[in-house]
Amino acid sequence: MTVTVRDYIRTIVDFPHEGIMFRDVTTLFADARGFRMAIDQLLHPYAGVRIDKVVGLEARGFILGGALAHQLSTGFVPVRKKGKLPGTVISESYLLEYGEAVMEIHDDALKTGERVLIVDDLLATGGTAEAGITLCRRLGAEVIGCAFVIDLPDLGGRQRLEAMNMPVHALCAFEGD
């Protein structure tokens, strides 16, 4: 039997709320073989593609993004929740299931024309990724795609990003939420 990235991801029932099936990537990150497999597979579609920066979405996107940037010998840029970055930032709000959240990026983190790859562990509704794409575009960067370990297709994030003409790469999918 072939081992896949999905095999390294555990599911925690009723976290953080009853009825939620939490897909926990910390078990993937903790396993050297699994983590290497994930990084290699996240990079595969971009072999030979110019990527100037990797943009990681808070928080697990930082872990993946740092490793991808290292492999690509390029810089890493964090997109963080409001109030977490020092210095001058630009902000983008997005809707949550109950309420609104705000993501921020340093106003000098990307240059006009830079080609960036956005990365995170999980694609659910796509709100965080959409905010990240918007922030990068506002700074003049070209977002060449979004890469995720997990897609939750029932929550519609892939369709939301593809409606923005954004290529989406995910290593595995879990039905339901």
Given 18, 97, 100, 175, the catalytic residue? 97
Percent of the chain whose pLDDT exceeds 70: 99
Q: Residue 71 pLDDT > 80, yes or no? A: yes
Longest dimension (CA), the chain: 51
Q: What are the pLDDT digits (tens) for 130-160?
A: 999 999 999 999 999 999 999 999 999 999 9
CA distance 107 to 23: 33
* Rounded (5°) CA angle 17-120-90: 100
Check if 97 is active-site: yes
CA distance 55 to 84: 16
Q: What is the domain partition of the chain in residue ranges?
A: 50-172
Q: Name which CATH class applies to 50-172.
A: alpha beta
Say which residues have a Cβ less than 8 Å from residue 172's Cβ, sequence separation at least 6. 4, 5, 6, 9, 149, 150, 151
Average pLDDT of the residues of the chain: 96
Percent of the chain whose pLDDT exceeds 90: 93
Q: What is the mean pLDDT of residues 110-118?
A: 98
Given 60, 92, 130, 158, the catalytic residue? 60
Q: What is the mean pLDDT of residues 88-114?
A: 93
Check if 60 is active-site: yes
